[in-house]
Structure 1
Amino acid sequence: MLNASTRTAALYDRVRRVIPPLEWPAFTDDIEAILDLKRQRNAVILAHNYQTPEIFHCVADIVGDSLVLARRAMTIEADVVVLAGVYFMAETVKLLNPDKTVLIPDTQAGCSLADSITAEDVRLLRRRYHGIPIVTYVNTSAAVKAEADICCTSGNAKTIVEALGVPQVIMLPDEYLAQNIAAQTAVKIIAWRGHCEVHERFTPADIRQLREDHPGVTVLAHPECPPEVVAEADFSGSTAAMSDYVGQKKPARVVLMTECSMSDNVAVEHPEVEFIRPCNLCPHMKRITLANIRTALEQNRHAVNIGPEIAGRARLAVERMLAI
């Protein structure tokens, strides 16, 4: 077994392009402790693409977008799962692993989309639009999922909408994702007016300025961005799709119109690509740190629990998505 200093030195070799050497010593004690705690507790860490590189590349066992994490959660054999992401993601993991201990390092790691709609809102929509299927983005609470017919992610939303085989669906809560999917399908989409506080701030003018300042830059935009931003971009897709695009196309110079840490994490894998980094920070994702991941494992906090009156129906909406 590698000793602690050798182990962390090997990890730093991986992230040295995105973490300055002066910052690295501040991370090593927590990284070493987390790696030991994972072994002692038979624990795994799931990290979303928006986590910082010292989490994403140095302590996480499974990384990806919300769809990847949801799928991989179904095959987890560990006793304890720590979700390095936001609360709705931890709920989704718990739904799919009801017998496991699922921990979220900070219960205040929320989401503007999840906060934009309640279960009562969904019930009202169902009464108003009787008989129209309700597709809910995974960026929602378990209580909202329990009121929906099926879930979707930004990576599979079009597939889910079309797989229902109906002329019209309700898609919530992200208005821009719904509008961007509506532009790709003949299915009529009724949208809710929720927005991601990270992606709604990007503008077409931002992209035009980037092209002026960085000639030849390839612009990739997340579909939570406004439709006019997606229209200005060279490609739009989920975080996983953006990462795959960089790996497959290998643009000489690229900008990812999404959360800040995404570029750092993809850059680690593609040193030959120049990443331009105008980004918007997600304050919720940044509530997750090495320190509170360590505390979560040491003190078994904060365990995610979902009442049975919600869990069964919410799980069904997620499982219907994963079955398609």
Structure 2
Amino acid sequence: MDKTLLQDKITKLKKEKNAIILAHYYQRDEVQEIADFIGDSLALSIEASKTNASMIVFCGVKFMAETAKILSPDKKVLLPVLDAGCPLADMATAENVMKMKDEIGDASIVSYVNTNVDVKMISDICCTSANAINVVKSLESKKILFVPDKHLGAYVKRNVSDKEIYLFDGYCAVHDSFNKQDIENLLAKYPNAKVCVHPESPLEVIELADFVGSTAGIIKYCKESSVKEFIIATENGIVFELKKQLPNKVFYTLGTKAICVNMKKTTLKNVADALQNDIYEINLTDEQIEKARKPIERMIAIKRQ
């Protein structure tokens, strides 16, 4: 079925099922085109919770759909591709996080929103890449176990001097692959470009940045800047929204290195199939929802950068 027919089918099914489609900035262009909301993972889940839709189709990865279910327990949440997972989230389990906490001693667990539900359930508070520094600063505890992204954790550690911050050894394979040379090579070609870096990147990359922040933060920075050229050190999918909002500006990426395979698994056909057949539903127990919701709600109250 061609693109136009699939889009028409999705529009029809969406109306029949009273569904909304959420797409992360890293999704394929064609999927972002048919989404009702495009954004970063937490913002999407919050927006969906405010709607009167009875079904959410989350075009992203599993932990994102789980978060949507946690914040909208009465809605049916579908993940169009069953094996669209996040290797970073999967690195942390409730068992290995608690083992590390036991070794450290009395510490508050701050878990990045990029975690599965079992880790959220044992967390004191969650954070996003936009509010991680403010979340850690807000805690009375002097000992922090930051889970699971070591690069985001190192960035927080560099900006919070009065806490003892222990880092879980997790990483996003895409951002972890970025290095100083990648940025310097692009700057040699485009010396007038501003460098925008996601904090899941290594510190050597962050140190070359003009701006460090979340996907939404990067878009905001590019919109507000008078500069016309930008080097974007995060997953390539964000460029679709950047070009849509800023057609007169130019964006340079780190090429094939900056592609998340899991984020690119979802196609228009997958979205249509999910809507037609109600697959694949995210099912969480009442206990999982209740326990995981508390650290998320604490996080939502924290100011974003």
TM-score (norm: length of structure 1):
0.89
Q: Look up the match of 1:7.
A: none
Q: Which of residues 11, 19, 29 in structure 2 aligns to 1:35?
A: 11
Q: Does 1:182 align with 2:162?
A: no
Deviations 1:197-235 (A, max 9, x none): 110111000111001112211111100000110001211
Listed as ranges, the matches of 1:84-103 within 5 Å are: 84-103=59-78
Is residue 67–residue 155 contact of structure 1 (8 Å, CA) maintained in 2? no
Q: Distance in 1 between matches of 2:83 and 2:217?
A: 28
Q: Distance in 2 between matches of 1:288 and 1:74?
A: 22
Give secondary structure in 2 for the equivalent of 1:91.
helix
> Number of paired residues?
299
Is residue 46–residue 68 contact of structure 2 (8 Å, CA) maintained in 1? no
Give secondary structure in 2 for the equivalent of 1:232.
coil
Q: Look up the match of 1:281.
A: 259
Cα offset, 1:120, TM superposition: 0.4
Cα offset, 1:314, TM superposition: 1.0
Two-structure CA RMSD over aligned residues (Å): 1.4
Cα offset, 1:73, TM superposition: 3.0
Q: Which of residues 297, 307, 317 in structure 1 aligns to 2:275?
A: 297
Q: Look up the match of 1:82.
A: 57
Instruction: Give the gaps of 5 or more residues in structure 2.
Output: none
Q: Look up the match of 2:171.
A: 195
Deviations 1:168-190 (A, max 9, x none): 21111000000011111123311
- Deviation larger for 122-131 or 134-143: 122-131
Listed as ranges, the matches of 1:1-324 within 5 Å are: 26-56=2-32, 58-186=33-161, 187-279=163-255, 280-324=258-302
Is residue 106–residue 143 contact of structure 2 (8 Å, CA) maintained in 1? no
Q: Distance in 2 between matches of 1:250 and 1:113?
A: 35
Deviations 1:61-106 (A, max 9, x none): 1111123123223312100000010000000000111111000001
Report percent identity of matched pairs: 38
Q: Look up the match of 1:10.
A: none
Q: Distance in 1 between matches of 2:46 and 2:104?
A: 31
Q: Distance in 2 between matches of 1:73 and 1:146?
A: 21
Cα offset, 1:110, TM superposition: 0.7
- Structure 2 CA distance for partners of 1:129 and 1:76, relative to 1, 3 Å: farther
Q: Distance in 2 between matches of 1:76 and 1:182?
A: 37
Structure 1 segments of 4+ aligned residues over 3 angstroms from their partners: none
Give secondary structure in 1 for the equivalent of 2:82.
coil
- Deviation larger for 97-106 or 307-316: 307-316
Q: Look up the match of 1:9.
A: none
Cα offset, 1:264, TM superposition: 2.2
Is residue 151–residue 199 contact of structure 2 (8 Å, CA) maintained in 1? yes
Q: Distance in 1 between matches of 2:221 and 2:301?
A: 25
Is residue 148–residue 170 contact of structure 2 (8 Å, CA) maintained in 1? yes
- Structure 2 CA distance for partners of 1:250 and 1:289, relative to 1, 3 Å: farther
Deviations 1:33-85 (A, max 9, x none): 111111111100111111122221x2111111123123223312100000010
Instruction: Give the gaps of 5 or more residues in structure 1.
Output: 1-24
Letter in 2 for 1:217: A
Is residue 135–residue 172 contact of structure 1 (8 Å, CA) maintained in 2? yes
